[in-house]
């Protein structure tokens, strides 16, 4: 897919403090194959709807929110890995612009299922695992259920095993 590839986005939120460490821009992808019971963003489950835009248009919208206080971008959903080429293109464009932009991705897939995707080499933190309603725990920072992990992706790829981060 070229840089002008199309992504389907449910919305963008600026200045979030609940979708990763620090103040962040959050991009919500439209469409999710997991359909977890009790989903936090059920309006983002259907693949229909959303706003189709080029990766360059999305980049411009994200950059509106990047400033000295907001240095992180979180991709959520829906399911970002349901649009793997678009996810790769936008994360690469952000990292090419400034390698210090901190990237978090929320996914219903487990790390082991997506670790070979090219975009993984560009992600700082992966929040993995489906939301499981019976394991819901609102005291957990940055996740909804006890099975979900906060994964340091560069360390995990280097060591060949999952390295979780602890956030209190």
Query: Is the pTM for the entire model greater than 0.85?
Result: yes
The CA distance from 34 to 109, in Å, is 9
- Is the pLDDT at 1 greater than 90? The verdict is no
The CA distance from 163 to 151, in Å, is 6
Q: What is the pLDDT of residue 4?
A: 63
The CA distance from 79 to 128, in Å, is 11
Question: What pLDDT digit, counting tens, does each position of 98-119 carry?
Answer: 999 999 999 999 999 999 999 9
Q: What is the mean pLDDT of residues 55-65?
A: 98
Return mean pLDDT, the chain: 95
Per DSSP, the three-state class of 116 is coil
Query: Class assignment of domain 6-159?
Result: alpha beta
- Is the pLDDT at 91 greater than 90? The verdict is yes
Q: DSSP label at 15?
A: E
């Amino acid at each position: 897919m070229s840089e002008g590839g199309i992504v389907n986005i449910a919305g963008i939120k600026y200045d979030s403090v609940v979708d990763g460490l620090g103040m962040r821009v959050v991009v919500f992808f439209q469409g999710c194959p997991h359909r977890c019971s009790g989903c936090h963003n059920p309006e983002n489950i259907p693949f229909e709807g959303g706003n189709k835009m080029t990766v360059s248009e999305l980049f411009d919208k994200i950059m509106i929110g990047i400033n000295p206080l907001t240095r992180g971008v979180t991709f959520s959903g829906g399911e970002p890995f349901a649009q793997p080429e678009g996810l790769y293109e936008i994360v690469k464009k952000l990292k090419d612009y400034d390698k210090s932009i901190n990237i978090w991705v929320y996914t219903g897939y487990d790390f082991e299922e997506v670790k070979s995707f090219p975009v993984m080499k560009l992600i700082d933190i992966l929040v993995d695992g489906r939301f499981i309603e019976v394991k819901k725990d609102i005291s957990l920072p940055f996740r909804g259920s006890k099975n979900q992990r906060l994964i340091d992706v560069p360390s995990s790829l280097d060591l060949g095993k999952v390295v979780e981060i602890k956030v209190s």
